[in-house]
Amino acid sequence: MVIYKYLFNVRVNHDVVIPPFSSKVSRTLLTLVSPLYKEMIESKSPLKPFRVTVLKDSGVSVMGGTLSKDKIYSFSFTTLKEDFSILQNPSLKTELWGTEFQMELSRVEAVSSLEPSDKKFFHVKFKTPTLLQPPRPMKAKSNRFVLFPYSPFLVKSLHAHWNKYMKPIKVGSYLRVLYSLREINYSVSPISAQYGSNKIRGFTGWATFELKARRGTNVRNGVDILLQYANYVGVGKSRSIGFGEVEVTPQEHPYKPKEGQGVENGKRAGI
């Protein structure tokens, strides 16, 4: 299955205050160019085959506040489906929140396959609040999110999404993942995000993991591919609306924090 990534630029004709979580803007604009997207966001089905990011200002996530008429913002839409018909409507002008929004398709990327990188370390930036959920007891009705990038929960959230749409891969049990994918340094902070009437608690920051499984094993190849897959679909709950956006970089050597970050990071990482 091919992964499609559409990148859009957004402008406004005068300064405007937007909702607290800016993917509301991205999603609203997309509903106006893709009837299929509008239909699918109303589905209650979990693990949706698409992801919309929050707005970006020169690559920095915009969580809310005011958009300026002097800036060009961007967002991306990733999908595992070919029939969203976005290319039939590559530009849009519309009135929202009392101002004119202009949206233009700037680039399309297509990835036909993901292969193991054969790297030992993976640096993961958690760019928007990440909502990792432990396995839910049968009678639990409320959500429970952890505030740390616990590797089994991270990998299993990716594994469930991958196996729903791709040729299934094996990564082993929770314990196998826990002992194979080990955090060696991190700097994460809890953060609250307002989405509609709900205040949701997650975390942002970064973590570097070491993948210690032997080359050629299911857990080594599977985890490697799933971490790369996270660049397109995100991790955790509510990824389709912009939560859990990550940037994963396979590396030969561990990530070293820049000077000035070490004290805080060292305390959190226990080094």
∠ CA(8), CA(10), CA(14), 5° rounding?
Answer: 180
Q: Which of 29-43, 129-143, 201-215, 255-269 has the highest mean pLDDT?
A: 201-215
Res 187 pLDDT > 80: yes
Which range is least confidently modeled, 43-47, 108-112, 243-247? 43-47
Q: Is the Cα torsion angle 1, 162, 5, 17 positive or negative in sign?
A: positive
Mean pLDDT of 118-146: 90
Cβ within 8 Å of residue 266, ≥6 positions away: none
SS3 content of the chain, % helix, strand, coil (to 5): 25, 35, 40
Specify the pLDDT at position 262. 46
> How does pLDDT run across 121-131, given as a tens digit for each residue?
999 999 999 99
> How does pLDDT run across 190-242, given as a tens digit for each residue?
999 988 888 999 999 999 999 999 998 999 999 999 999 999 999 999 999 99
Provide the 8-state DSSP code for 240. G
Res 264 pLDDT > 60: no
Identify residue 254 by its one-letter amino acid code: P
Mean pLDDT of 32-53: 88
